[in-house]
Chain A
């Protein structure tokens, strides 16, 4: 590689809500040359293909559909002087903020004085769930289904089954309607619907039967799905359908991080950060769903803005040394492995002038839990369930007591 790669002040990897809002904010903070690298042909991230609401409430107090929201994020970034390079895939991260990219005109290296990893998260596909049967066409995650609705004249199926009841499963339900497909059933392997209250009523309102305690044991079909076998309380039965939408089970897009040897949180599978959003290599920062699978676009947008301010501070040398970080202490919720993760994972000695991007701890549970938790020396009462956002105030000093 060249001895002197192109160097910019801030390099943002990923043009989703988190990356674009961070880029815009960095420019507004006087962050110098800000370049966004996006591997898709169009910037905007996941919302590009979400043909539904709600988007934009937190950002602009407006109810928007995903594509319009994505366009607006891009316009704001460009208006603020951000340069967005699409079809540019980051293929490796090197220490100190140098990254390898592959673009249509070939590979090269770019260095950012600070770099934001806003890589997003993806759903767990069928294979990783070890669902048996054959491997016909018509089995896909929600995002792929959405891409058909948003970008294609083809219809992947007409009568799918939807697996899962996280929030995103209801997006799948809505997207099926857009596509003119009629879901034959919605399946939840557990006893309860994962998404919150109002959504529980949606399947019935749309005339789609919802089966709890039901898992898929086999998918059938050769070229296309022609049915599935499900098991419910030890009883098996077949459901005729021509597709399966495998929803949720989000996991951070973390392959680059792992390959680079950046420390990951075994619970979130995203990077370990301090309260400024910095990774173990302090040239790198992170925001959005690569940290926490998953939050809403608005949440990621806000996080991007906050981390951008810390990146601007880093450019001015105003952040404390990263190696002062101590692990965040979380006690009480660890019985039965109930805690999935708590973020930020580490706390640095605070910098007086720089408000931390993460002034609250974000937690997720693996199992329902209610009881006393101690976070960074403070006690809190929580009662919550998996896939619910929990935030607790964080005093900036680790030894606050």
Chain B
């Protein structure tokens, strides 16, 4: 019996935050979308580890595509987060000067912010800075405040985007790596580990492999990914009270520098580093760097020296030789590349998706938006949100450090986007991610996952 081969409108390669947001946008616009992800779970590349800041774009290069996408993304996140039950902690950021030289650069940075239409930045004297952040090292000289820099949940946001795509007719294929493909002038046939797949348009959102996918599908690429690793140290919830704002240094030419900020889950993180490497797969942690980060954190917030470390992690930015995003519609090929979304993809995802949708329309993709799309309601994992452990009928607490209930874990395992790996389950529920790192609940959590994946 032969089955009619189905042809999707759009195939999105890669389920990082960018691919998830694009899948959502195009599905809402009325397209039949399939997302192809080579890993066992989504968010397994660059999007698995970041600082979780929703940027305003105050420090982005003036006139860049990155700036436009970040700002459009910020606005859409602001508009939709409540409906999706996604957190948004509008804590604001302080850019701190620790030397006379850095202090001298603050006016220019504020000028750039205003040029980027972030006009609400406020200069602060040393005294004003310390009044806002009393735990800060008193050696601080001056600062300015960026009120709308915010914190979000780096995993529930992309989950929500992709889940909305799936609820409205989209398809996700995991363990599905694209190795090549051909375009016959109207339809792409992609070679994948799950067999050939047909689609009218292809979006390359392969993150750390964006250049490789371009090479495989187009025979050439206009950028080369050079992964830039960032390591982090996460402190226990007790430390979160030490800082209200996102604490930023004066940036250098190559990096935004080491940030100290809370997470929406109520921890405090210090990082990231910026280390170029060839390896696209492994974001290795180095004890020496972690100790440096620990010390750096304690330099900024002296009380951190006594605080307990909860977690350590590292991520890889899909950086390349160009500074700006590499987003291109390939004329006559029904393909858009969304490459080198280096260090602001979480913030820009929704805006980048809107930009990509417009590019596809330029390639003849004619959408008919859904009139009443379904909206998923996400489990609230933020410390300040209404959590399940505070509700009745939660079946009791499973992970005590992060206060995750049995009901939450079972619901995650029962979801259309159910995790297949422990890392995936952790990202969806936070189970085992607290100070004990699974001492108490690790076995129960792993058994629940094993039962669900065996079934």
Chain B residue, CB-CB nearest to A259: B238
Contact status A255-B236, CB under 8 Å = yes
Contact status B396-A41, CB under 8 Å = yes
Cα-based distance from A108 to B285 in the complex (angstroms): 42
Cα-based distance from A87 to B311 in the complex (angstroms): 26
Looking at A65-73, A98-106, A388-396, the stretch in contact with chain B turns out to be A98-106
Return chain B residues, CB-CB under 8 Å to A123: 439
Cα-based distance from A259 to B308 in the complex (angstroms): 14
Contact status A128-B308, CB under 8 Å = yes
Q: Which chain A residues in 84-114 approach chain B with CB under 8 Å? A: 87, 89, 91, 102-107
Contact status A107-B390, CB under 8 Å = yes
For the complex formed, measure the closest distance between the CB of A274 and the CB atoms of chain B, giving whole angstroms. Answer: 24
Cα-based distance from A77 to B308 in the complex (angstroms): 35
Indicate with 1 or 0, residue by residue over A112-129, a CB within 8 angstroms of chain B CB atoms.
000000000011011110
Contact status A144-B390, CB under 8 Å = no
Contact status B438-A154, CB under 8 Å = no
Looking at A52-60, A133-141, A282-290, A335-343, the stretch in contact with chain B turns out to be A133-141
Indicate with 1 or 0, residue by residue over A132-170, a CB within 8 angstroms of chain B CB atoms.
111101001101100110011010100000000000000
Check if A223 is an interface residue, CB within 8 A of chain B: yes
Chain A residue, CB-CB nearest to B234: A127
For the complex formed, measure the closest distance between the CB of B440 and the CB atoms of chain A, giving whole angstroms. Answer: 7
Partner of B446, one of A126, A143, A156, A217: A156
For the complex formed, measure the closest distance between the CB of B281 and the CB atoms of chain A, giving whole angstroms. Answer: 8
Return chain A residues, CB-CB under 8 Å to B234: 127
Partner of A133, one of B233, B284, B294, B310: B284
Contact status B397-A144, CB under 8 Å = no
Indicate with 1 or 0, residue by residue over B311-334, a CB within 8 angstroms of chain A CB atoms.
111000000000000000000000
Total A-B pairs, Cβ < 8 A: 122
A132 and B285 in contact (CB under 8 A), knowing A102-B389, A106-B390, A127-B309?
Answer: yes
Return chain B residues, CB-CB under 8 Å to A141: 436-439, 442
Cα-based distance from A133 to B312 in the complex (angstroms): 10
Cα-based distance from A184 to B440 in the complex (angstroms): 25
Chain A residue, CB-CB nearest to B313: A135
Partner of B395, one of A104, A128, A148, A151: A104
Cα-based distance from A186 to B392 in the complex (angstroms): 46
Partner of A217, one of B287, B311, B392, B395: B287
Cα-based distance from A259 to B446 in the complex (angstroms): 29
Cα-based distance from A358 to B306 in the complex (angstroms): 28
Check if A383 is an interface residue, CB within 8 A of chain B: no
Contact status A154-B447, CB under 8 Å = yes
For the complex formed, measure the closest distance between the CB of A85 and the CB atoms of chain B, giving whole angstroms. Answer: 11
For the complex formed, measure the closest distance between the CB of A310 and the CB atoms of chain B, giving whole angstroms. Answer: 28
Check if A131 is an interface residue, CB within 8 A of chain B: yes
Check if B435 is an interface residue, CB within 8 A of chain A: yes
Chain B residue, CB-CB nearest to A90: B400
For the complex formed, measure the closest distance between the CB of B153 and the CB atoms of chain A, giving whole angstroms. Answer: 19
Contact status B287-A144, CB under 8 Å = no
For the complex formed, measure the closest distance between the CB of B341 and the CB atoms of chain A, giving whole angstroms. Answer: 23
Cα-based distance from A221 to B394 in the complex (angstroms): 35
Contact status B438-A258, CB under 8 Å = no
Cα-based distance from A133 to B423 in the complex (angstroms): 16
Partner of A140, one of B281, B286, B438, B450: B438
Chain A residue, CB-CB nearest to B281: A222
A127 and B310 in contact (CB under 8 A), knowing A132-B285, A137-B422, A144-B443?
Answer: yes
Q: Which chain B residues in 372-391 approach chain A with CB under 8 Å? A: 389-391
Cα-based distance from A126 to B432 in the complex (angstroms): 13
Check if B282 is an interface residue, CB within 8 A of chain A: yes
Cα-based distance from A131 to B446 in the complex (angstroms): 22
Indicate with 1 or 0, residue by residue over A216-240, a CB within 8 angstroms of chain B CB atoms.
0110001100000000000000000
Partner of B442, one of A140, A218, A255: A140
A151 and B294 in contact (CB under 8 A), knowing A102-B403, A135-B313, A140-B438?
Answer: no
Given A132-B286, A223-B421, 10 more contacts at CB 8 Å?
A104-B396, A105-B393, A106-B391, A125-B436, A131-B285, A132-B284, A133-B285, A137-B422, A144-B442, A255-B401
CB-based closest 10 A-B pairs: A106-B392, A125-B437, A147-B443, A87-B396, A144-B442, A130-B290, A132-B287, A132-B285, A128-B309, A122-B439
Q: Which residues of A contact B (CB under 8 A)?
A: 39-41, 87, 89, 91, 102-107, 122-123, 125-128, 130-135, 137, 140-141, 143-144, 147-148, 151-152, 154, 156, 217-218, 222-223, 251, 255, 258-259, 266
Listed A/B pairs (5) with beta-carbon separation below 8 Å: A104-B392, A106-B392, A125-B438, A130-B233, A144-B443
